[in-house]
């Protein structure tokens, strides 16, 4: 028996529902679908560009495809700097378990303190953080094998410098972003860097590539750069310089070797130096490329230029006699003295024995402008034309402000300043029969030419004087070389201190060339503040010149021009300064 619905028992069921209510509900549902359709149309059609951009911002990434940095090579193709594959370790902090027992082990492998690693990973607001850059491949794989969640590897490149300390000031180094910071790496950074490529991809939240958006643009690797430096000459020069600085308990030292045929710099070394492969706790003393950035008063190394100008002006001949007795002279209330009185001397002897008085007497026959122009012509007071960071111009005041005593002191190297690099280049006028040869740090195997400063005859005459400086009776017999004839000039200068000069602080120099008849190289040496009992340039710098010249000429294959062993005298003549 079926029971009928008792409408009368339920007032709600018994009441009559208005028709508009059902229509309202249906209309509401219809409007909702219309709204959803409109929104879909906006998202898919009208506002599509906006939403595409928002999606790309969150998931699409442009990955840089780094270009391999070009190698730096020496003149013979040996590697001075190159990039090797490495790994950089990064993390997503919020994904790393800070209590993971393997974290201390990872910190030990990466040479980090466990507390420092945890602090690095403690900021969970970051979705990316570098843990350590440019880790060697085997070490990176050990860290990866620990399986720490949130720690990842990324391919990178690490710069290596095989020559280490010896070539550090030439080559320089890059930072972790492979951007040059010092030396050639900085000077030629744009050329060596090449052009990075790119790859547009979709990545998930873990940084994994899901899909390529477009074709990758391949990187263009940087070209190799071949320098004029000879790594063998560079190493030997640095080694001998280091030994001299330590032997004489000096503060520092520099040496420059130039090929006078091409103008190429074969070596440029400084001590103290640094290892560009390990750059922790570096100081300014180590980083300074003293041969290019430090200036000093060049002392008696200026005297040959005065003699050459006096010959050029017809004021003297090599055999002309100059009276230097009693070994001193007064100008404007100041007294100029020689280390020892010599009496009447020829111009040749003035240079051989480094007489201040004889040099001043030649200089005072000239106009200040003539001396100033002479110094300018050999490159003093001008920045060397080499694309090297930090190269300085030195100091050469305008001739109009010179007082007589200043003109006198400038003739023997006081009152002006120069760098060792400038001094080495200036001496090419004697090696190349009066031509100043432009210097270059880039390899070019061709004969170079420069502006003529002196006639060939007068340049050769001064070169003969320089040869006598290294012989018996000269100030630098220790500059002689087994198998080769040499010539050069010593220099010893008080160091400036405040407004005056320090009594017991000196710089010792020697600048010379070899072989004497057909010079191939110029070598300049500076020893800064020797304190071991000797300080004259002929005693502290000339031996470095001798050893460097002998090794360099052998490496270059220059035929010896002497058949007998040179007779080196026991004591050099003390130079005036």
Catalytic amino acids?
300
Measured in whole angstroms, the distance separating CA 60 from the mean position of its chain's CA atoms is: 40
User: Are 424 and 386 spatial neighbours (Cβ–Cβ below 8 Å)?
Assistant: no
Instruction: Measure Cα distances from 541 to 4, 240, 252, 369 in Å.
Output: 127, 10, 12, 32
Distance CA 269, CA 291 (A): 8
Residues 6+ apart with CB under 8 A from 415: 297, 397, 406, 409
User: Are 456 and 288 spatial neighbours (Cβ–Cβ below 8 Å)?
Assistant: no
Helix (H) or strand (E) holding 271: strand 265-271
The Cα angle at residue 510 between residues 508 and 514, in degrees rounded to 5: 165
Tokens of 219: 């990187």
Distance CA 561, CA 568 (A): 17
Distance CA 418, CA 378 (A): 11
Strands 225-226 and 72-73: parallel
User: Are 468 and 348 spatial neighbours (Cβ–Cβ below 8 Å)?
Assistant: yes
Question: For residue 524, which of 458, 459, 439 has the smallest C-alpha distance?
Answer: 439
Tokens of 459: 């340049």
Residues 6+ apart with CB under 8 A from 50: none
CB atoms within 10 A of CB 128: 10
As to burial, measured by CB atoms within 10 angstroms (0-12 exposed, 13-18 middle, 19+ buried), residue 270 is buried
User: Are 487 and 513 spatial neighbours (Cβ–Cβ below 8 Å)?
Assistant: yes
Place of tokens 């050459």: 308
Question: For residue 535, which of 215, 185, 247 has the smallest C-alpha distance?
Answer: 247
Helix (H, G, I), strand (E, B), or coil: what is residue 344? strand
Distance CA 557, CA 555 (A): 5
Cis peptide before 326 (omega within 30 of 0): yes
User: Are 477 and 447 spatial neighbours (Cβ–Cβ below 8 Å)?
Assistant: no
DSSP assignments along 346-369, one per residue: EHHHHHHTT-HHHHHHHHTTS-HH
Distance CA 273, CA 285 (A): 8
């Amino acid at each position: 028996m079926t029971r009928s619905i008792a409408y009368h028992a339920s007032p709600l069921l018994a009441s009559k529902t208005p028709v508009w209510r059902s229509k309202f509900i249906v209309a509401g549902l219809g409007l909702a679908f219309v709204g959803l359709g409109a929104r879909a149309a906006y998202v898919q059609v009208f506002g599509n560009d906006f939403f595409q951009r928002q999606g790309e911002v969150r998931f699409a990434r442009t990955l840089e495809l780094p270009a391999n940095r070009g190698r730096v090579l020496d003149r013979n193709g040996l590697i001075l700097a190159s990039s090797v594959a490495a790994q950089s370790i990064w993390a997503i902090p919020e994904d790393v378990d800070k209590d993971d027992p393997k974290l201390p082990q990872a910190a030990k492998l990466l040479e980090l303190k466990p507390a420092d690693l945890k602090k690095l990973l403690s900021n969970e607001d970051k979705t990316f953080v570098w843990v350590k850059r440019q880790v060697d491949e085997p070490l990176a794989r050990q860290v990866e094998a620990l399986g720490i969640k949130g720690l990842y590897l990324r391919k990178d490149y690490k710069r290596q410098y095989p020559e280490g300390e010896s070539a550090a000031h030439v080559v320089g180094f890059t930072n972790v972003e492979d951007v040059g910071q010092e030396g050639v790496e900085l000077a030629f950074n744009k050329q060596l860097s090449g052009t990075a490529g790119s790859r547009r991809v979709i990545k998930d939240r873990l940084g994994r590539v899901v899909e390529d958006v477009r074709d990758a643009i391949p990187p263009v690797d940087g070209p190799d750069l071949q320098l004029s430096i000879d790594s063998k000459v560079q190493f030997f020069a640095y080694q001998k310089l280091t030994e001299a600085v330590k032997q004489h308990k000096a503060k520092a030292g520099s040496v420059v070797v130039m090929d006078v045929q091409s103008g190429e710099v074969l070596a440029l070394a400084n001590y103290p130096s640094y290892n560009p492969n390990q750059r922790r706790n570096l100081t300014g003393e180590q980083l300074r490329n003293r041969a290019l950035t430090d200036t000093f008063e060049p002392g008696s190394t200026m005297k040959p230029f005065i003699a050459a100008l006096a010959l050029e002006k017809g004021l003297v001949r090599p055999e002309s006699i100059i009276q230097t007795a009693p070994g001193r002279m007064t100008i404007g209330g100041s007294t100029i003295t020689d280390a020892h009185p010599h009496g009447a001397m020829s111009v040749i002897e003035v240079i051989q024995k480094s007489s201040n008085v004889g040099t001043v007497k030649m200089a005072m026959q000239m106009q200040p402008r003539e001396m100033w122009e002479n110094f300018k012509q050999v490159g003093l007071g001008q920045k060397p034309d080499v694309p090297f960071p930090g190269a300085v111009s030195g100091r050469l005041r305008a001739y109009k402000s010179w007082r007589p005593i200043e003109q006198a002191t400038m003739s023997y190297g006081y009152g002006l300043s120069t760098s060792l690099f400038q001094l080495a280049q200036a001496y090419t006028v004697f090696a190349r029969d009066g031509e100043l040869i432009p210097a270059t740090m880039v390899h070019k195997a061709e004969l170079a030419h420069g502006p003529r400063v002196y006639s060939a005859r007068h340049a050769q005459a001064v070169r003969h004087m320089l040869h006598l400086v290294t012989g018996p009776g000269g100030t630098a017999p220790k500059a002689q070389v087994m198998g080769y004839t040499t010539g050069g000039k010593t220099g010893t200068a008080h160091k400036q201190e405040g407004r005056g000069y320090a009594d017991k602080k000196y710089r010792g120099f020697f600048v010379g060339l070899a072989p004497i008849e057909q010079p191939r190289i110029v070598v300049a040496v500076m020893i800064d503040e020797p304190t071991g009992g000797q300080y004259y340039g002929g005693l502290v710098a000339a031996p470095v010149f001798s050893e460097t010249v002998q090794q360099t000429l052998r490496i270059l294959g220059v035929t010896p021009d002497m058949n007998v062993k040179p007779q080196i005298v026991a004591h050099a003549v003390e130079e005036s300064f």
